Structure 1
Amino acid sequence: MSKPTSNPSKKSVFGWYKNHISAKMICSIILLIVFTCAAFSIAESKISSRLTNELEDQFDLRLATSIQSMNAYLESIPENPADIDGTGNEGYKKIKAKLESILVTDTLENVYILSNNTGKEQIVVLTGVDDDYGTDYAFSDDMKAAIDSQKMTYSSIYKDEYGIHKSIFLPLKDRDGKTFGIAGIDIDASVIPATQTFIFWFTVVIVAVVIVIGVAVAFLLSRSLTRPINKLVNATQKVAEGDLTEEFALQRQDELGTLAGSFNAMRGNLETLIHQISSSSKVFSETAGNINQSSNEMGASSHQVALSMNSVNEGVSEVVVSITDSTSSIVEVNEELAKVTSEVTGMQQMVHEVSSYSKDGQVLVEKTLSQMDVIQQEMKQSQDAAAQLDTRSKEISDFITVITHIATQTNLLALNASIEAAHVGEHGRGFAVVAGEVKKLAEQSSEAANSITELIHSTQQDSQSVLASIEQGSQAVEKGQQWIHEMSENFNTIFNGVSSFSAQIGHLKESLDKTDRSFELITDSMQKISGITEEQSAGYQEVGAAIEEQSATIQEIAGAIRNLSQMADELQASVQYFKVS
């Protein structure tokens, strides 16, 4: 099976884009143009849609205004379009003249009245046509929708053999309130697609002009930039090959001109640097030999000093061990004392908290006692109010008894009046009716009085229950006050005991703090002595290590100097690669 090969043309195009800055510039500008054209297209679509919606709204407003004017006229005249039976009808002539006037005044296409009253869809009145009555005309879906919904209905923009239109339909009713047809108005809507077409082609022209100008600008701009860049590339290739003799000149005032000037300055500085390196490497090679001999002698002396410092360091280390053991013992005692002090401090804080809680409890008990006094006063007021309510209920019961007696007397009077009216005969019939109504009213008053009596009796029973409950509540409040007084005395005893214990803990804490400070001073002193001794030991060790490192460094320096001498020779050979003036 053979391996698939890549497309040569695709690789060539990618290589051209990758290896040429002009290709990247042209592609970037073209991409920007594409985005700009896309933005123009989106803007065109949005503008066209918004303008179309605004135009349709204006058409709907014109149609609504015209058909409302037409409907107002039809409602103001005595003739009804449903009564029109031919072109000779007076109502037909009057209505058609008005429709023709609306057509001219509002600049409309057609104004008409259609009917389907007899099951036949036909024209009743149509502007611009003489023999219009009775002509068959099939109702559109929008017309049927207007009749079904009994609402004014707008059609969408539609096209037929006569042009592009937008219509409005309004259901019409006969004298019995039954819908017999519709009133309709057509308006020329050709301006909407014409406007959309104009905006589309205008956008196409703008996009085409932008593309042509953008491509031309991209080509010219890339050409003006790549020419001097190519010259600079050739000059840098010569410098890379070691030729520093040729100067690069570019007569431009922009960034490329600045780059060319900087390149010439770099070439000159590089040429000067090559001269300096060539002369300095010769001097450095001679000096390196002398330094190498001196470093060997210094290394031998440093080794003897390092041996002496090691002996001194061993004696100091023994002193450090002894001081460290003493310091550890003192630190352990100090730590135990710190633990005791910490526990006493915690105990003191706890005592303070207990004292604070007991004080807060005492305050809370006093507030509770005060609130119990308020509750007792309110219970007394409630007891007085309940007693007064019972007294008022008894008074109301007495009033209801009087009302019941009056209703009974009124009922008897109404009965007597009915009897007297019956004796009078026909002349007393009206008075008998009034007497009957008075009797009904007296009976209703008696029933209401009985209901109120039952309600008052129930209220009196509830009042007695409330009085008993309030009395029990008052007794409970008095017992609560006694208990709270005893609780307040207990809190005072607790608070005094806690305060005394807190004072004793405070004295113990002060003694422990003084002892702790003394141990801290001793510990600090021992640690300082130990630290100083350790620093001396470390200092001796560092001196010995530094001397050994110095000896090793001197040997490394000697080796480095030998390497530098060799590198100076190699550098001298490398400088010979460059061609300088």
Structure 2
Amino acid sequence: MWSKLSISLKLALTMIVILGVLAISDGVAVWRTHTAHGQVTNIVQKQTPFLVTTSNLEALFNHYDGVMNSYVLAVNMKNWSLAAKKWTKAQKIGTQLVADIHHLAALGTDPKGVTAFAKAWKNYDAYAMMTHQAGLNHRIAQAVYEQTVANSPATQAATQALNALSLSASQRVHTQSMDVEGNLAAMTDMVLTAWAITVLIALGALWMQWRGIAKPLQQLARVADGLSQGDISQTIPQAPQDETGALAASFRRLVAYFQDLSHAAEAMGQGDLTSAPPTAGPRDTLGQALVTMHQRLRELLQAAQNSGHHVRQQAQAVRTLADQAAGATEQIAAAVHQAAQASGESADGLQHIAAAMQQLKAAGEQVADGTDRQAQAVAAGQRTLSAMQDDQHQMAGAVDHMGTLTTESQVAVQKSREEMVQTLESMDRIADVTQTAATAILRLGDRSKEIGTIVRAISDIADQTNLLALNAAIEAARAGDAGRGFAVVADEVRRLAEQSAQETQNIRELIQSIQEDVGLSVDAINRGREAVQEGQSVATRTREALNAMEHAVGGVADDIQGVIATVQQVESGSLTVGQRMQEIAQAAQNNAAAATEMAASTADAAETVQGLAAIAGETAQGMESMAQTSQDVQASATQLQRSAQDLAEIAEQLGALVDSYHL
């Protein structure tokens, strides 16, 4: 029950109990003091005057009796003037005595005793009057008898009544004095008992406050110190169900919250994105932001993985196409080399034909032989030309295949560039997510500031405790010696309040340390953002390499188009050479039929051979140009291979980086 009360209510109940004990003890002391004061007042106002008046009355009675004895003696001596004086004096004393009797009766302390003495006085006064009458009548013996013998019973009765009045008054004063002493002693015992009870209650309250406030705060301070050192594996001790218990529960939730965030961050740092970070509730802005960041990062990494796999496939395709282009380039180079050899052989044959024609002009007798050699040369030229045409057809097919490969390479490079653009966009989104994480960490710093509210609540509790201690010290000062022990308790409560304020300051410093850790987290996020920017730079360079590759492939395509045009020209020249070779064969046949026409045909053949020589020279130049173009194409294909290899390596690195995350 006590542990469920708040600190303010505990302090208030403690103050109420202590003040109640002091109020009861003070009330009893006041009642005892009032009773003693009434008794003392009664003694002073009634008993003491009664006792004094009784003593005075006794003295007056004795004085009256002595004056009457003197009166009787004066009568006996017949000194009538002296007797008259004594009687007058006796009458004055009697009047004073009667007044004292009335005063005693008015006090009302001992009515029976006063009445008994008044009755005895009347009897005695009656004998005094008879004595005076006897003296006035000069009956001296009767006067002496009345004063000495007859009034003895009345004198004894008056004396006994006076003694009874004095004794009863003395007893009443003694009894009431003893009552006053008893009340004072009881008041002293009550004050001592109340002081002892107050001290015990104060010590008990001090022990309970230490156990319920100071000890839990010290334990929470140690937990806070561990949190400031980054130790989130601590166990929050159980605390009473008051403000310290609420504070302990808040610390327990804070530690659990930090542990969940730590586990989620550790899993994300190790590349495990299979489970979403937990949230504390719908108002958990940081948790919701982490969940959103985790989801977006998961989506981006999934897209990056897909893009990376596609880029690797495209890079592999580009590398395959580059290898095929290199092989085709080698085939083209071989075909061009063979065509160059065939062109050289054709040029040699034409040179031989020209020499034969010159010899035909010089010696007609050698026409038959020249015609045979011409026929053989033409046959060889036709065979060579046929082989060259076959090689040209193969080269044309290879060039067409290279054009197709080049087109496919351009398409693959274009797709790779588009995938790289998507990768750059994914990297940009990752940078945005990183910025969001930095914002979330800053919100964590703002969230940690909310703990300042708890610190201010503790500070308010400490201030309120200090104020209660001050009020208790004031009440203790008012209570005087009776509140001295309560003053000690108030001082202990004030010391606990100061200690609570000091612990509050320590917690405030802990919050500042947490905020510094948040700043370090922001720096780490910034470094991660710089790493993302570096990845963007690498991706940008990759895109530039793809652009260069696309440009190189375009150049290769242009070169291949030039090769195709050159091949077409060579095919056209080969057709012309074939036609001319057919004309030479026809001319050789005509030479065999008619020798007369040989001279004219020889001139035509010479011109034809010269034309063939010119065509063969053009063909040789075309072959040289094609050979140079083939070398350029081979160099471009080699560059394409290197670019494809670089692209494949970059794609592998990107794929390995993305595959390190488990989605």
Tell me which protein shows more strand as a share of its residues.
Answer: 1
Q: Answer whether TM exceeds 0.5 for this pair.
A: no
- Larger RCO: Structure 1 or Structure 2 (Cα < 8 Å, ≥ 6 residues apart)? 2
TM-score of the superposed pair, with normalisation by structure 2: 0.25
Higher helix residue share: 2
